[in-house]
Amino acid sequence: MDAVNLRTPLYDTHVALGGRMVPFGGWDMPVQYPEGILAEVRAVRTGAGIFDVSHMGRVYISGPSATDFLDWALTGSASTLAAGRARYCLICNARGGVIDDTIFYKLAEEQYLLIPNAGNRPRVLDWFGQVIAQRFGDGQSLGWLTGNGDAGVTLDDQTMQTCLLACQGPEALGLAASLADNGLEGLRPFAWTATRMCGAEVLVGRTGYTGEDGVEVLAPAAAASGIWQALTDAGAVPCGLGARDVLRTEAGLPLHGHELDESTTPVEAKLERFVDYDKEFVGRDALVKQHHDGTGFTLVGLQMPGRSAPRATYALTVLGQPAGQVTSGCYSPTLDTSLGMGYVFPEYSRPGTVLELDKRGLIEEITVTALPHYRRPRRSKSSQPS
């Protein structure tokens, strides 16, 4: 291991809490704290958990062509996104393969904040630089490091200057609101607001990656430990990557590198609801063709009784013949069953279809299910039209 991993502003906090640090996407991140993954998952499903997600990128995109650029580079529309709102979508290559999945926030006219995955940040910046140069620039300059102002689009990577904390769970919004100067109670899903927390100017979005209600807080790096401390003092339980992976798998949320990669499309991943075909964008032709012609395989949910989990790369078969492959899986403490996701040939994608799972040489039955596995209960107080 030659490369030195990056550290978030909360690295020392994690170590002091007894967090077990592991490499992830080029960063040293806590996979769990001493209470363990099961307790952390429970905290998020029943109360509130707090995650350091500062390893994910913060890329500011601005300039007179910023909206045009994002409309072209993303599957989701920037031009129909109102300031104060955020949107989940994909970044596709020309073949429709997923370079990354992302949430982007419209801050103001021609000003956006985009969150790439940790390990994909260099790739996304490089790709955006190419797209800008080819479509909006002179076709040669690839100056993403210094921005690309000549092309009307400036990329400003603020990942190392800022932090991102996710407070998730049924009590998360109220807990964050108790620390914020104003305005979180009325915050709608996929909306964001600027406020102050612990004396720092922050951006709070009602977004997350756990299938639970909650917020993500963007703050200056220097404010990270103060906000973390305040949220944990208020009752949020520190949670690591292990719990995050279980929570997102229960919620059927894809993880790039597992359900998504540059040779897998949003059509195959059943993510077309995040694709706006009413505009032109990179990869659209390939996706339209696949939408009409059908796909070679399709993403499904998988469940099997017991606690022994289907795991990524396990083969799925029917009468011993290839039927697909598991991409993610775990024991689900919330549903007390084993579950996961995987790609199967379309003829095996109907919920209820029973497949064989090759569990390290042991063949067991596993059932295709609809996603998500877990949907949070509606709470009248906080329920919102989505």
Partner 1 sequence: MSSPSDRSYTREHEWIIVEDASTSRALVGITHFAQDQLGDIVYFELPKVGDSVSQLGKMGEVESVKAVSDLYSPVSGEVVEVNSALTDQPELTNSDPFGEGWLIRVTMSDPSELDALMSSEEYDAYVAEQH
- 7 closest CA partner among 331, 24, 66: 24
If one counts every other C-beta atom within 10 angstroms of the C-beta of residue 315, the result is 16
Angle (deg, nearest 10), helices 172-179 and 224-233:
120
Among 29, 124, 131, 330, binds partner 1 (CB under 8 A): 330
Tell me the β-bridge partners of 100.
91
Query: Residue 241: which of 25, 5, 2 has the closest Cα?
Result: 25
**Region binding partner 1 by CB under 8 A among candidate stretches 149-157, 183-191, 269-277, 327-335:** 327-335
Q: Is 366 in the site for partner 1 (CB under 8 A)?
A: no
**Is residue 31 a contact point for partner 1 (CB under 8 A)?**
yes
Q: Does 318 bind partner 1 (CB under 8 A)?
A: no
The one segment of 35-43, 105-113, 172-180, 230-238 that binds partner 1 by CB under 8 A: 35-43
Q: Hey, which bits of 93-131 come out as E strands?
A: 98-108, 111-115
State the minimum distance, in angstroms, from the CB of residue 349 to partner 1: 26
Yes or no: say if 172 and 214 are a contact pair by the CB < 8 Å rule: yes
CB of 334 to partner 1, least distance (A): 12
Q: Tell me: does residue 36 bind partner 1 (CB under 8 A).
A: yes
Location of structure tokens 């492959």: 325
Task: State the minimum distance, in angstroms, from the CB of residue 364 to partner 1.
Answer: 11
Q: Does 309 help bind partner 1 (rule: CB under 8 A)?
A: yes
Residue 46 CB, nearest distance to partner 1 (Å)? 17
- Cα dihedral 281, 287, 291, 293 sign: positive
Burial class (CB in 10 A: 0-12, 13-18, 19+), 308: middle
For the CB of residue 87, give the shortest distance to partner 1 in the complex, in Å: 31
Of 246, 230, 237, 298, nearest to 267 by C-alpha is 298
User: Is residue 80 a contact residue for partner 1 (CB under 8 A)?
Assistant: no
- Residue 36 or 296 having the CB closest to partner 1: 36
d(CA 218, CA 51): 12
User: Which of these segments, 88-96, 174-182, 268-276, 302-310, binds partner 1 (CB under 8 A)?
Assistant: 302-310
Report the SS3 class of residue 89: strand
- The two tokens of residue 96 are 């429709």
Pick the binder of partner 1 from 6, 10, 29, 37 (CB under 8 A).
37
Q: Shortest gap between Cβ of 120 and partner 1 (angstroms)?
A: 22
Which CB, 191 or 312, lies closer to partner 1?
Answer: 312
Distance separating alpha carbons of residues 222 and 162, to the nearest angstrom? 8
Task: Mark 217-256 with x for binding to partner 1 (rule: CB under 8 A) and - for no binding.
Answer: -------------------------x---x----------
Q: Which residues bind partner 1 (CB under 8 A)?
A: 20, 31-32, 36-38, 242, 246, 306-309, 311, 330-331, 333, 360
